[in-house]
Amino acid sequence: MSETAIREDRSSKGMARVSAALWRRGWLRATLTLTPPLAWFLVIYLASLVLMLVTAFWSVNPFTNVLQHSWTLANFNQLFTSPYPTIVLRTVEMAAIVTVTDAVIALPFAYYMARVASPRTRRLLFTAVLLPLWASYLARVYAWIVILQKGGTLSWSTSHLGLGAVNIGYTNTAMWIVFSYIWLPFMIVPLYGALERIPESLLEASGDLGAHAWRTLRLVVLPLVLPGIIAGSIFTFSLTLGDFITPLLVGGSNAQFIGNVIYNNLGTANNLPFAAMLAFVPIVIMVFYLLGARALGAFESL
Amino acid sequence: MTASGTKGTGERMKPRRSRLAGVLIGAAATALLVVALIPSGASASHVNAGLVAPEANAPVPSSIGKGEGKLNLIAWEGYVQPEWTKPFEKQTGCQVNVKYGTSSSDMVSLMANGGGHQYDLVSASGDADLRLIYGGDVRPVNLALIPAWKDLQPFLQSPSFNTIAGKHYGVSFEFGPNVLLYSTKTFKTAPTSWSVIYNKKYAGQITVPDDYIQIADAALYLSKTQPKLGITDPYELTTPQFNATVALLKAQHPLVKKYWDLASQEESLFQSGTTVVGAAWPVAVSTLIADKDAVAETIPKEGATGWADSWLLATNAPDPNCAYRWMEWMTTPQIQAEDAVSYGETPGNKLACPIMDKIQKGSCEGLHANAPASYFQSLYFWKTPLATCDNGKNDCEPIQNWVAAWTQIIG
């Protein structure tokens, strides 16, 4: 037993020496701690992105589908020929509409959650907002197909209410509804965070100075939650920009999105370089979006 | 944040930026290293896809030797079911490994990349076959070693999609038509022409597959309705013929409710009554009919396109003996019948019909296994569109133009 104790003592002495050495040499400590995550970031994250960029300058033999490692700008030139500009525009348009829709729905909802509801109701609402995220994305999209298709729940309800049948299955309207539904929690949560941080005293001061509710909302609340709205919009905008499953399942005959073209080029045409080039379109759009958001001051409170 | 604060951050950012540049350079260097390590030799032999099959003179065996103990397949999902794979493994000692291909192009890529040393056989559809043959990824086989070959439907023994100048690059096994599916509520009698899917009367109630090979369906229709165009083969289209076909499909676009990607999508489109007419695979038709939906299928007077799958032998197949054993096994009447019923397709082997009925009553007739020769003659099987036409001229539209045109049609 005493032998074990000695060994333990020795090993703890060794540990102490190592830790003392690390304490003395701060750079060594930093290097050891940072190397694994940094290596992961470099190799897995950045290198794969760079590789994708490099691939975008290659081409495939159209007949045998073999990758040709010779440099060409053909993929980028093709982006500016029909129908790709239409497809990019359609995608950005949908992303913008979905973002605005979610912001408009989420603002009153989050306001109620953060400032009006009792703690118990708030917990319930939080669960209600996050609950859909626990279910499979696919299951939720399929549920919407059942709701929106001809003779589906929506059409059945409206015709029984005497409003006539509503057939919006497999249309861009259907896509708009499904996208807005699916990404809504990503807007509510950051907005809730932003609204919760507004000091009650500011709202009271606004009221004391004679501002009505609407004016307080416009001049006090909105500017203060703008970073929250923009944080949420980054989610809703970029998620819509990259999605291909909802257009594929819910969309009609005009449902080609950037994501679908990428998917087709990988799955059907097997044109990796062209898909890689297209993958940069959302990245470039997001860079401009974030620069715009920064100009609006969205990141100042980060 | 105050202005001075911003400035301060900006100043502090400077060294960080240069460090970020270092990080980016490091990442770029890593990527370039990876790129440099990718063997480029594989592409060299494939790039020059002229119209000579590179492996045409590869030797074929005169007998099947001892099995290698394993077999690596690329197959459509559903073709390598345990029901017939387990007995095969037991009988031959060849352990079967399978990689499912997601599309014809995916299969072509899988076969071409890695030098083709990995796989033995691919269950390629007709639209992939010529790409594989002219790409040098598959080599001739000796069909005398496959006893059931002579029992195949005559048109599948040496079809132009897998046999070139008398050399067979594989054995055909199962096939199916692309039928016209319609709602019996809308159509009291079966439509006799494909014109219904180009008809404004059914605007917003039409569905067609989201696939470039759909151009051939339109070309087939035009070959019968506009004989002036002179289309003789829907897969060999000269530029004017091709443009006329693409124009027809562009005019069809506003009428189409949805271009379906999955057979299940088409099923729900018809179940809900969203669409009433469209082009379909037999598997969707069987599902809908089993579900007692008011639909029926027909092959209109213009005929129909179809797909026929073959097992093709990889040029560098590591297990050729097991591969021959598999081709032998998969063409026997018993397995042909099991495969046909399980997948909802037509067996290539003429002797499979009675066995199909034993497995599932009525399946032989339902899947057209005993159809008359006229039925098979009305089918135009998928094949790769090439720049060279059968007329010896080099004025046909190649596959890449088909794919590009399709993106434009649906975009």
- Looking at the fold, whether B127 and B200 belong to one and the same domain comes out as no
Contact map slice: B 253-272 vs A, CB within 8 A:
253-254, 256-259, 261, 265, 268-269, 272
Residue B405 has a pLDDT of: 92
- Looking at the fold, whether B113 and B186 belong to one and the same domain comes out as no
Nearest chain B residue to A89 by CA distance is B411
* Integer CA distances (angstroms), B167 to A11, B147, B159, in order: 75, 17, 11
- Looking at the fold, whether B166 and B313 belong to one and the same domain comes out as yes
Mean pLDDT of chain A: 88
Is there a domain that residue B5 lies in? no
Residue A9 has a pLDDT of: 64
Question: Beta B70-75 vs B121-125: how paired, if at all?
Answer: parallel
Chain A contact for B237, CB < 8 A? no
- Looking at the fold, whether B213 and B261 belong to one and the same domain comes out as yes
The backbone torsions φ and ψ at residue B158, rounded to the nearest 5 degrees and listed phi first, read -135, 55
Question: Beta B167-168 vs B163-164: how paired, if at all?
Answer: antiparallel
β-strand partners of A262: none
**Which DSSP category does B398 fall into?**
P
Task: Tell me the residue type at B238.
Answer: T
Nearest chain A residue to B136 by CA distance is A64
| Three-class secondary structure assignment of chain A | CHHHHHHHHHHHHHHHHHHHHHHHCHHHHHHHHHHHHHHHHHHHHHHHHHHHHHHCCCEECCCCCCEECCCCCHHHHHHCCCCHHHHHHHHHHHHHHHHHHHHHHHHHHHHHHHHHCCHHHHHHHHHHHHHHHHCCHHHHHHHHHHHHCCCCHHHHHHHHCCCCCCCCCCCHHHHHHHHHHHHHHHHHHHHHHHHHCCCHHHHHHHHHCCCCHHHHHHHHHHHHHHHHHHHHHHHHHHHHHHCCHHHHHHCCCCCCCHHHHHHHHHHCCCCHHHHHHHHHHHHHHHHHHHHHHHHCCCCCCC
Residue B5 has a pLDDT of: 36
Among A20-24, A238-242, A249-253, B333-337, the least confident range: A20-24
Residues of A in contact with B31 (CB under 8 A): 47, 50-51, 54
Is there a domain that residue B331 lies in? yes
Chain A contact for B54, CB < 8 A? no
- Looking at the fold, whether B132 and B241 belong to one and the same domain comes out as no
Chain B contact for A39, CB < 8 A? no
A107 pLDDT higher than 80: yes
- Looking at the fold, whether B395 and B282 belong to one and the same domain comes out as yes
Is there a domain that residue B171 lies in? yes
- Looking at the fold, whether B370 and B394 belong to one and the same domain comes out as no
For residue A295, the distance in angstroms to the closest alpha carbon of chain B comes to 13
Q: Can you point out the beta strands (E) in B304-401?
A: 304-313, 346-347, 379-381
Is there a domain that residue B63 lies in? no
- Looking at the fold, whether B104 and B200 belong to one and the same domain comes out as no
Considering only the beta carbons, identify the residue of A67, A253, A256 that sits closest to B257. Answer: A253
Is there a domain that residue B26 lies in? no
Number of separate domains in chain B: 2
For residue B222, the distance in angstroms to the closest alpha carbon of chain A comes to 23
Question: Beta B179-183 vs B277-280: how paired, if at all?
Answer: antiparallel
More confident residue, B18 or A292: A292
- Shortest CA distance to B203 belongs to which of B300, B297, B275, B270? B275
Considering only the beta carbons, identify the residue of A42, A51, A82 that sits closest to B23. Answer: A42
* Integer CA distances (angstroms), B248 to B54, B195, B210, B227, B399, in order: 37, 11, 16, 15, 18
Question: What would the pLDDT profile of A58-80 be if each residue is shown by its tens digit?
Answer: 988 777 777 888 899 989 998 99
Considering only the beta carbons, identify the residue of A62, A251, A300 that sits closest to B1. Answer: A300
The backbone torsions φ and ψ at residue B22, rounded to the nearest 5 degrees and listed phi first, read -60, -45
Contact map slice: B 91-110 vs A, CB within 8 A:
102-103, 105-106, 108-109
Residue A45 has a pLDDT of: 85
Task: Check if the beta carbon of residue B283 is closer than 8 Å to that of residue B276.
Answer: no
Chain A contact for B60, CB < 8 A? no
Residues in CB range of A68: below 8 A, 6 or more apart: A58, A59, A60, A61, B43, B47
Cβ within 8 Å, pair A42-B30: yes
Residue B26 has a pLDDT of: 53
Residue B381 has a pLDDT of: 92
Cβ within 8 Å, pair B137-A64: yes
Cβ within 8 Å, pair B274-A61: no
Full set of structural domains in chain A with CATH:
2-55 (no CATH), 81-295 (1.10.3720.10)
For residue B354, the distance in angstroms to the closest alpha carbon of chain A comes to 37
| Cα diameter, chain A | 90
- Looking at the fold, whether B274 and B396 belong to one and the same domain comes out as yes
Residue B29 has a pLDDT of: 53
pTM of the predicted model as reported, rounded to 2 decimal places: 0.78
Chain B contact for A62, CB < 8 A? yes
Cβ within 8 Å, pair A63-B273: no
Residues of A in contact with B261 (CB under 8 A): 248
A297 pLDDT higher than 90: no
Question: Beta B256-260 vs B206-209: how paired, if at all?
Answer: parallel
Residue of A52, A166, A170, A246 best to disrupt the B interface, most CBs of B under 10 A: A170
Is there a domain that residue B239 lies in? yes
Task: Tell me the residue type at A266.
Answer: L
- Looking at the fold, whether B403 and B344 belong to one and the same domain comes out as no
Place of tokens 């020795």: A10
Per-residue confidence of chain B (411 residues) as pLDDT tens digits?
Answer: 333 333 333 333 333 444 444 544 555 555 444 444 443 333 333 333 357 888 888 889 999 999 999 999 999 988 999 999 999 999 999 999 999 887 788 888 888 875 568 899 999 999 899 989 988 899 999 999 999 999 999 999 999 899 998 999 999 999 999 999 999 999 999 999 999 999 999 999 999 999 888 999 999 999 999 999 999 999 999 999 999 999 999 999 999 999 998 888 899 999 999 999 999 988 788 889 888 999 999 999 999 999 999 999 999 999 999 999 999 999 999 999 999 998 888 999 999 999 999 998 888 988 889 999 888 889 999 988 888 877 677 788 988 889 889 989 998
Residues of A in contact with B34 (CB under 8 A): 47, 51
Q: What is the mean pLDDT of residues A246-256?
A: 90
Is there a domain that residue B6 lies in? no
Is there a domain that residue B58 lies in? no
Residue A302 has a pLDDT of: 54
Residues of A in contact with B272 (CB under 8 A): 149-152, 169
Cβ within 8 Å, pair A67-B43: yes
- Looking at the fold, whether B277 and B141 belong to one and the same domain comes out as no
The CATH number of whichever domain residue B227 belongs to comes to 3.40.190.10
- Range of the structural domain that residue B256 is part of: 177-306+387-410
- Looking at the fold, whether B114 and B186 belong to one and the same domain comes out as no
Residue A301 has a pLDDT of: 59
Cβ within 8 Å, pair A169-B272: yes
Question: What would the pLDDT profile of A138-195 be if each residue is shown by its tens digit?
Answer: 999 999 999 998 888 999 999 999 888 888 889 999 999 999 999 999 999 999 999 9
